[in-house]
Structure 1
Amino acid sequence: MTDYRHDLMFGALLEPPAGRPQDVLVLAELMEAVGLDVVTLSDHPYWPERLDTMALLAAIVARTERITVMPNMANLPLRPPTVLARTAATLDILSDGRFELGLATGAQQMWDLIVAEDGPKRDAGQSVEALEEAVRIIRALWASDDAVSFDGTHYRLAGVKPGPRPVHDLGIWLGAYQPRMLRLVGGIADGWVPSSPFLPPEHLPAANQVIDDAALAAGRSPRAVRRGYNIEGQFASDAGSGSGSDFLNGPPGLWAEQLADLALTHGISAFFLYRAESPDFIRRFAEEVAPAVREKVARERGNSAD
């Protein structure tokens, strides 16, 4: 049982449909209005039916004042690390420190689409190597005072001028499921975000253990890695009613109990509704679930400190 005792954050993963260009902006404004903390967008630049994630995040930054924005997760093969570093820093500057960078290797089943757009063809091991190189390059371009050179297997920089600098300690969150990627999370990442349809709650302890062991091996505290979770569920009048599993399948009280347990038992501190499209669903999550989870977690943490 592990509670890393991070402050809780609540938000949603929105989808950017090209046919309804204003929907995502309206939902992002709603999320801020109802008190949610983070709006995230998926990133599939090879799908023409999707609007560009980074451009949409810039529009959301311009339309909001408080909420944090983040790609969930940026597609590394089609977004070079030098470009990602500058885009992320620019959005952080424009938002006055409200940007976080989510980053992933690219789904293996999408490689044909990536290659069709002149992206690289990488196997699973090469994808992890490239992601590690990219994180090191991005951080160097944010922090270095001198020109950045890098001689890696997948990326090479020959005296690149660094900057711009983010205005806050901008975190890099990785999407990861397999052991090698989880070890990378523990070794170098600021945050981890799996999705419940692909990593159900019962698999969180084993994944957390891999991350924690890798963090310790790298000389880091496991607490250095914030744990997020894209959560899929439905509101129902009774627990377990309707289709699907019992996870997040019931009234808001059940959601609050299960999410508080994830925070206190598995260290999850950032909860993002998975593929949220309904304003009513978002509003209910913000007004009936998030406050109850905060209350339960604060009470348990207070009791444990006594």
Structure 2
Amino acid sequence: MEHTGPGHNGPSAPQVVFGFGAHSDIDDGPELLRAAQQADRDGLDIFSLSDHPYLGARLDAYATLGFVLGRTRRLSGFANVTNLPTRPAPMLARTVTSLSALSGGRVVLGMGAGGLWDRIADMGVPRLSPGAAVDAFEEAIVLVKKLSGGGPPVTYRGRHYQVDRIEPAPVPAAPVWTGSVGPKSLAATGRVADGWIPGHAADWLSERYRTSRPIIDEAAAAVGRDPREIRTVFNLPGRITDRPLAAPRDRAGRWVGGSVDQWVEELTGAVLAHGASGFVLFAPDGGTQDAVSLGRWAREIVPTVREAIAKENGTS
């Protein structure tokens, strides 16, 4: 059966997705491919790569996505998140629709307004004010979607993007998940995006989540969208330990990990009590996930959480 990427179970019930993330250097390529192929075999949904094109030691996110998608069968991929200022929206649309067509829809478009502007400007990209960067970010999401799904040629006149009579690709638009942080960017996510990844690896018990998610929901409702359609996907660093930890959260309240049972209890509660709809596991040091931890995540934690959610929802 063709896999069509992370999707929704219904208009108000996004399917919960599980994956892993990596910040991979060029020398990490073979290790990353092995991890992705293991995740693919073990039934994970998605893998993600950071996108920092001003770092010469890093693998390019989109070249790597294409390579890994070509060597896997079910796993979806996304840049977590795309460094938009260095990847203009019309070309980004072509990249993402091509990857989607070649992979059977196994692509998510992670989108960011751009954070490290000193380094972005070092790439020769004109510097934007924070407000202008968010305006460009929202225009880009709209334009990428317009340039997907077929239909008549697109003419678009925005403040930051203008295109004339450009044919959309005959490929459905990929889901767009943003890394929005500030209020203006969060509101844009509510208006035009399909998912949100809280910044700084904030989780469902964090102040960032509690204060940010309502902004998304209010902006979505204001334009007639059902806020429940916009998933929240958490980047989640943490250790998987053989024995339970006395304190699976640190003094600041951040999740640090624990035993399989502690992970299962925490993630099940995140879904059922806090509306989480995705988790991307990162190694505590930010590198590529080691094979043992990735295997325990995919074979022990994820299936048990899925089973618990299904049981609670009456779908098991």
> Aligned residue for 1:288?
300
> Aligned residue for 2:52?
44
Partner AA of 1:97 in structure 2: G
> Aligned residue for 1:101?
109
Aligned equivalents of 1:243 and 1:202: distance in 2? 11
Q: Residue deviations 1:111-155, cap 9 Å, x none?
A: 111111111212221111000110111111113533322222222
Q: Residue deviations 1:146-181, cap 9 Å, x none?
A: 33222222222233x223232x45211111122221
Partner AA of 1:173 in structure 2: W
Query: What secondary structure, in the 3-state scheme, does the structure 1 residue paired with 2:217 have?
Result: helix
* Structure 1 unaligned blocks of 5 or more: none
Contact 1:194–1:228, Cα closer than 8 Å, also in 2: yes
Higher mean Cα deviation, 98-107 or 235-244?
A: 235-244
Aligned equivalents of 1:297 and 1:121: distance in 2? 45
Query: What secondary structure, in the 3-state scheme, does the structure 2 residue paired with 1:56 have?
Result: helix
Identity of aligned residues (%): 32
Q: Residue deviations 1:75-126, cap 9 Å, x none?
A: 100000011000000000000111111111111xx21111111112122211
Among 153, 158, 168, the residue aligned to 1:152? 158
Task: Please tell me whether residue 209 in structure 1 is matched to residue 221 in structure 2.
Answer: no
Aligned equivalents of 1:242 and 1:263: distance in 2? 18
Query: What secondary structure, in the 3-state scheme, does the structure 2 residue paired with 1:65 have?
Result: coil
Aligned equivalents of 1:199 and 1:66: distance in 2? 27
Contact 2:13–2:229, Cα closer than 8 Å, also in 1: no
Aligned equivalents of 2:149 and 2:203: distance in 1? 34
Higher mean Cα deviation, 231-240 or 125-134?
A: 231-240
Q: What is the RMSD computed on CA atoms of the aligned residues?
A: 2.0
Give the 3 Å change call, closer, same or farther, for CA 248–55 of structure 1 in structure 2: same
Among 231, 240, 244, the residue aligned to 2:236? 231
Partner AA of 2:164 in structure 1: A
Task: Please tell me whether residue 80 in structure 1 is matched to residue 88 in structure 2.
Answer: yes
Query: What secondary structure, in the 3-state scheme, does the structure 1 residue paired with 2:309 have?
Result: helix
CA shift at 1:289, angstroms? Answer: 1.0
> Aligned residue for 1:254?
262
Aligned equivalents of 1:14 and 1:165: distance in 2? 31
Structure 1 length-normalised TM: 0.90
Contact 1:179–1:210, Cα closer than 8 Å, also in 2: yes
> Aligned residue for 2:278?
270
The size of the alignment, in residue pairs, is 296
Task: Please tell me whether residue 299 in structure 1 is matched to residue 311 in structure 2.
Answer: yes
Higher mean Cα deviation, 112-121 or 246-255?
A: 246-255
Aligned equivalents of 1:230 and 1:246: distance in 2? 12
Aligned equivalents of 1:242 and 1:289: distance in 2? 15
> Aligned residue for 2:6?
none
* Structure 2 unaligned blocks of 5 or more: 1-11
Contact 2:51–2:79, Cα closer than 8 Å, also in 1: yes
Partner AA of 1:67 in structure 2: L
Give the 3 Å change call, closer, same or farther, for CA 78–291 of structure 1 in structure 2: same
Aligned equivalents of 1:74 and 1:260: distance in 2? 29
Q: Residue deviations 1:219-253, cap 9 Å, x none?
A: 00012212211111112322345894562421111
Contact 1:145–1:162, Cα closer than 8 Å, also in 2: yes
Query: What secondary structure, in the 3-state scheme, does the structure 2 residue paired with 1:273 have?
Result: strand
CA shift at 1:27, angstroms? Answer: 1.1
